[in-house]
């Protein structure tokens, strides 16, 4: 029933969407067709061999992955043919005039053979040896024997390219599986073969060597080790092994802009291979693409712009670093990345699952689009929903782990703890100052009144998110809201911590905050202490970030590294031994990313982590939510349970989530408070609008003063415009005179 429904969806799309269809052959019906989507102009070749599901083929990604035996392009061609094709012809199949070996795209990929009515005894014997009565594969893994047997028959046998690619891939998989077993046995005996020696200019820990063998021998796979365990080093070792064993010569590394230069540094340090960082405008990038190199480093946004040029380079291996960037399969970046082509692929992510199981599906699809089945089947098999489609939990996790085992390797810190330095986590509670309390109560009251409404408009939802953001910012400093006062017990606590940490002991400290403005206020505290520091945030170009990292690493006077979450992904900050989080991120993966920049392999000192939390505020509840989300990660990747339910992990109803974070008692108390008058509300909204415009003007003036662009960054302008639109809409919906 599910599969029939999905086929109907594709037939409906074929009927409604516009296609240009061109017959490429001489036969009026059974032929190859070029199908062009008139909306996005994508073109695919469709082969029509019959009118039943499974008879035909298409080159589109959906056909290759959906296991249905059809797609909207095939159905569009069939619709165009049905009215002109007599019923007796629609019951026939295309005549087989010469032998063909093809690949069948049903629930399992299977090699098949089409035989013409007249064929030699040798070909008949070949078909009986390798194929069943329906012409489908039955000979286990003996693909090499088939390829050799085809060369011995008198007929000219056509082997379609996808069938040959599949068989060659299976032959290589079997061969490399045997090599992996042999190499692992050698490591157990501590007698590694010469090919495993001196892969890099640095020795590997045993678990890192096993990881490198896994990446090299599985061909297309995911390394999901906890952050800080050396995924980059393992990947470079795997590349060296593939270069020695499989002739790999071109490696494309796709990474966030913030870590491209760290890849360059580590490649030069550990391998000595030629490496090229791609950046600049279109003309500069095109010039770089013409230059030969072994490693080519790009960021995710470049894939969207230069997909054609990247595929034209024909990389042997593609590495996706911080691959959670493609967790949303509907995003433009995710779609572009999945159109990259290579023989081998390695996906690196310390957080293969951040919030939803579907994110894991999207990441795995890059290395093997059929590993977890089609999306509709995956959702049906693993999601638990109520009658209204609300997600209640996940099921059949044993089956999921079994499917992932051949292509996913994940080790936690606990598994290699003996090789990691000690780590101490401390939650530092700070009391809210008297000047913060009325402002906090005001935004809490506004939120409580909205939450009492039976129906929420889209504007209400935006106002709720705005209130929550204001509550969080107030926990840091009043300056984040009014840009005038700076009441912040957290900054006072940071000053005390730094006085202790930056004494005679040679500590270096990384201070994280979600808000750049809060970091600048923290920088003022550091300056008052007379301590050298650097600041990293998202508006600093990638090429300048390396200088900041080098200064923090090499300059003994630079003791503090202040960073937004632009520095929480991929960077190596192990020159420090202390992390201070000015606020705890709501996503546990982001918190782990921050800490793992310091507490990682190669760190030889104990690491201290201080999480600043405002008592009796929304921040305390965030801690409980974080622990619940961590349990989801544990259940899916290491748990023994076959099901996990999560009614309060952020997947619940919007209202319930907000009530949990704010506190039901606060909602009940504030809902009873009288609402402000319309004039008061208008005045406050107008003041907020003026403050926003002043803030944008300040950003632009500061940029101009420093010799930067005289216009606002696109992201800042977009956010500012959205905020102003929300304010104007709010003013427009109020009753009374404008």
pLDDT in tens, 19-69: 999 999 889 999 999 999 999 899 999 999 999 998 999 999 899 999 999
Domain span at residue 560 reads 421-670
Ordered DSSP codes for 444-465: HHHHHHHHT-SS--HHHHHHHH
User: What are the φ/ψ torsions at residue 22 (nearest 5 degrees)?
Assistant: -125, 125
Give the residue from 157, 186, 215 where a domain finishes: 186
Arithmetic mean of pLDDT over the chain: 83
Report the pLDDT averaged over residues 334-351: 91
**Which is higher by pLDDT, 88 or 421?**
88
| Structure tokens belonging to residue 691 | 């403050």
Same domain, yes or no, for 518 and 539? yes
Give the residue from 635, 652, 670 where a domain finishes: 670
Decide if 569 is inside a domain. yes
Decide if 380 is inside a domain. no
What's the CA gap between 285 and 298, in Å, rounded?
10
396 φ/ψ sector (left φ>0, alpha ψ -120 to 50, else beta):
left
Collapsed DSSP state (helix, strand, coil) of residue 491? helix
pLDDT band at 540 (very low <50, low <70, confident <90, very high): confident
**What is the per-residue pLDDT for 171?**
94
pLDDT band at 735 (very low <50, low <70, confident <90, very high): very low
Decide if 641 is inside a domain. yes
Question: Which H or E element spans position 36?
Answer: strand 32-37
What's the CA gap between 2 and 6, in Å, rounded?
6
**Which is higher by pLDDT, 183 or 654?**
183
Same domain, yes or no, for 544 and 626? yes
| Structure tokens belonging to residue 678 | 């319309």
Decide if 388 is inside a domain. no
Same domain, yes or no, for 490 and 559? yes
Collapsed DSSP state (helix, strand, coil) of residue 261? helix
**What is the per-residue pLDDT for 733?**
45
Report the pLDDT averaged over residues 683-701: 55
Report the pLDDT averaged over residues 192-212: 89
Give the pTM: 0.68
Same domain, yes or no, for 356 and 497? no
pLDDT band at 677 (very low <50, low <70, confident <90, very high): very low
What's the CA gap between 614 and 444, in Å, rounded?
15
Report the pLDDT averaged over residues 428-452: 86
**What is the per-residue pLDDT for 548?**
87
Report the pLDDT averaged over residues 360-369: 90
For the cut 90, the answer to whether the pLDDT of residue 110 exceeds it is yes
Q: What is the CA radius of gyration of the chain?
A: 30
Residue in 126, 129, 132, 128 with CA at minimum distance from that of residue 153? 126
CA atoms within 13 A on the CB side of 388: 3
Same domain, yes or no, for 321 and 437? no
For the cut 80, the answer to whether the pLDDT of residue 249 exceeds it is yes
pLDDT digits (tens, 9 = 90+) for 206-236: 899 999 999 999 999 999 988 778 899 999 9
What's the CA gap between 665 and 659, in Å, rounded?
9
**What is the per-residue pLDDT for 737?**
36
For the cut 80, the answer to whether the pLDDT of residue 726 exceeds it is no
Decide if 63 is inside a domain. yes
For the cut 60, the answer to whether the pLDDT of residue 665 exceeds it is no
Cα 625–631–637 angle (5° rounding)? Answer: 140
CA distances (Å), origin 348, targets 251, 364, 600: 14, 11, 16
Residue in 240, 205, 202, 234 with CA at minimum distance from that of residue 221? 234
Q: What is the CATH number of the domain that holds 207?
A: 3.40.50.10810
Same domain, yes or no, for 685 and 666? no
pLDDT band at 510 (very low <50, low <70, confident <90, very high): very high
For the cut 80, the answer to whether the pLDDT of residue 72 exceeds it is yes
Same domain, yes or no, for 117 and 168? yes
Lowest mean pLDDT among 118-122, 336-340, 503-507, 512-516: 503-507
Using the structure block, give the residue that is written with the tokens 């629930």: 107
Q: Residue 13: which residues within 8 A CB-CB, separation 6 or more?
A: 72, 75
Report the pLDDT averaged over residues 462-489: 88
What's the CA gap between 399 and 401, in Å, rounded?
6
For the cut 60, the answer to whether the pLDDT of residue 650 exceeds it is no
Same domain, yes or no, for 606 and 636? yes
Decide if 398 is inside a domain. no
**What is the per-residue pLDDT for 4?**
93
Rounded to the nearest angstrom, the gap between the alpha carbon of residue 676 and the centroid of all alpha carbons in its chain is: 44
Q: What is the CATH number of the domain that holds 439?
A: 3.40.50.300
| Structure tokens belonging to residue 406 | 């051949």
Same domain, yes or no, for 216 and 144? no
Lowest mean pLDDT among 72-86, 164-178, 339-353, 568-582: 568-582
Q: Note whether 580 and 511 are within 8 A (CB).
A: yes
The total domain count for the chain is 5
For the cut 80, the answer to whether the pLDDT of residue 689 exceeds it is no
Q: Note whether 131 and 187 are within 8 A (CB).
A: no
Decide if 413 is inside a domain. no
Same domain, yes or no, for 355 and 484? no
Percent of the chain clearing pLDDT 70 (strictly above)? 82
Give the residue from 163, 186, 209 where a domain finishes: 186
Same domain, yes or no, for 330 and 425? no
Report the pLDDT averaged over residues 699-715: 52
Report the pLDDT averaged over residues 346-372: 85
Report the pLDDT averaged over residues 413-430: 78
Q: Note whether 130 and 114 are within 8 A (CB).
A: no
What's the CA gap between 176 and 178, in Å, rounded?
5
Same domain, yes or no, for 317 and 362? yes
Decide if 382 is inside a domain. no
Report the pLDDT averaged over residues 488-495: 92
Report the pLDDT averaged over residues 179-186: 93
Number of Cβ within a 10 Å radius of residue 705: 8
Strand 408-409 relative to strand 220-223, pairing:
parallel
**What is the per-residue pLDDT for 719?**
57
């Amino acid at each position: 029933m599910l599969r029939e429904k999905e086929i109907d969806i594709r037939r409906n799309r074929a009927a409604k969407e516009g296609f240009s269809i061109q017959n490429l052959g001489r036969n009026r019906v059974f032929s190859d067709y070029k199908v062009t989507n008139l909306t996005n102009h994508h073109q695919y070749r469709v082969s029509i061999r019959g009118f039943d599901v499974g008879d035909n083929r298409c080159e589109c990604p959906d056909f290759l992955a959906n296991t249905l035996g059809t797609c909207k392009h095939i159905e569009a061609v069939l619709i165009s043919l049905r009215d002109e094709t007599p019923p007796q012809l629609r019951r026939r199949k295309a005549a087989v005039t010469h032998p063909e070996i093809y690949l069948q795209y049903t629930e399992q990929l299977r090699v098949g053979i089409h035989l013409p009515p007249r064929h030699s005894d040798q070909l008949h014997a070949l078909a009986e040896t390798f194929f069943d009565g329906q012409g489908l594969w039955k000979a286990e893994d003996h693909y090499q024997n088939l390829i050799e047997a085809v060369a011995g028959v008198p007929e000219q046998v056509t082997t379609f390219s996808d069938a040959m690619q599949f068989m060659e891939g299976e032959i290589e998989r079997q061969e490399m599986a045997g090599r992996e077993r042999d190499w692992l046995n050698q490591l157990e005996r501590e007698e590694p073969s010469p090919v495993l020696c001196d892969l890099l200019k640095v020795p590997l820990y045993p678990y890192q060597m096993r990881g490198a063998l896994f990446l090299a021998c599985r061909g297309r796979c995911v390394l999901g080790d906890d952050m800080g365990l050396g995924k980059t080093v393992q990947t470079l070792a795997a590349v060296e092994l593939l270069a020695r064993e499989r002739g790999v010569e071109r490696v494309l590394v796709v990474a966030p802009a913030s870590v491209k230069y760290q890849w360059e540094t580590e490649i030069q340090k550990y391998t000595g291979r030629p490496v090229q960082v791609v950046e600049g405008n279109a003309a500069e990038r095109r010039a770089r693409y013409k230059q030969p190199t072994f490693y080519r480093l790009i960021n995710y946004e470049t894939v969207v712009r230069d997909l054609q040029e990247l595929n034209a380079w024909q990389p042997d291996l593609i590495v996706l670093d911080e691959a959670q960037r493609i967790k949303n399969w509907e995003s433009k970046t995710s779609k572009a990345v999945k159109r990259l082509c290579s023989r081998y692929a390695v996906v690196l992510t310390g957080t293969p699952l951040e919030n939803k199981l579907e994110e894991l599906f999207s990441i795995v699809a890059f290395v093997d689009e059929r590993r977890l089945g089609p999306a509709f089947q995956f959702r049906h098999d693993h999601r638990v929903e109520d009658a209204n489609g609300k997600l209640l939990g996940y099921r059949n996790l044993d089956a999921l782990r079994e499917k992932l085992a051949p292509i996913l390797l994940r080790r936690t810190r606990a598994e290699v703890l003996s090789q990691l330095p000690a780590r101490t986590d401390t939650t530092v509670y700070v009391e809210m100052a008297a000047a913060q309390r009325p402002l906090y109560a005001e935004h809490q009251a506004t939120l409580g009144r909205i939450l009492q409404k039976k129906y929420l408009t889209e504007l209400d939802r935006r106002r709720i998110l705005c209130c929550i953001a204001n509550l969080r910012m107030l926990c840091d400093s009043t300056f984040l809201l009014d840009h005038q006062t700076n009441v912040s017990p957290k900054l006072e606590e940071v000053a005390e911590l730094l006085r202790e940490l930056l004494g005679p002991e040679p500590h270096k400290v990384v201070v994280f905050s979600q808000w750049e403005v809060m970091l600048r206020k923290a920088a003022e505290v550091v300056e008052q202490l007379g301590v050298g520091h650097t600041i990293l945030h998202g508006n600093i170009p990638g090429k300048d970030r390396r200088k900041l990292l080098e200064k923090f690493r090499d300059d003994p006077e630079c003791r503090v590294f202040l960073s937004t979450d632009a520095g929480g992904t991929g960077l190596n900050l192990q020159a420090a031994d202390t992390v201070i989080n000015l606020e705890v991120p709501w996503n546990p993966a982001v918190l782990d990313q921050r800490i793992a920049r310091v507490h990682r392999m190669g760190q030889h000192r104990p690491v201290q982590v201080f999480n600043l939390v405002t008592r009796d505020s929304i921040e305390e509840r965030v801690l409980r939510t974080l622990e619940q989300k961590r349990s989801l990660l544990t259940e899916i990747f290491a748990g023994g349970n076959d099901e996990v339910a999560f009614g309060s992990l952020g997947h619940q109803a919007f209202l319930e989530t907000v009530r949990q974070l704010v506190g039901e008692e606060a909602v009940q108390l504030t809902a009873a408070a009288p609402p402000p008058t319309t004039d008061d509300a208008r005045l406050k909204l107008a003041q907020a609008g003026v403050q926003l415009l002043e803030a944008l003007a300040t950003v632009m003036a500061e940029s101009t003063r420093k010799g930067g662009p005289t216009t606002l960054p696109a992201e800042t302008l977009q956010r500012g415009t959205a905020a102003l639109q929300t304010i104007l809409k709010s003013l427009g919906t109020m009753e009374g005179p404008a």
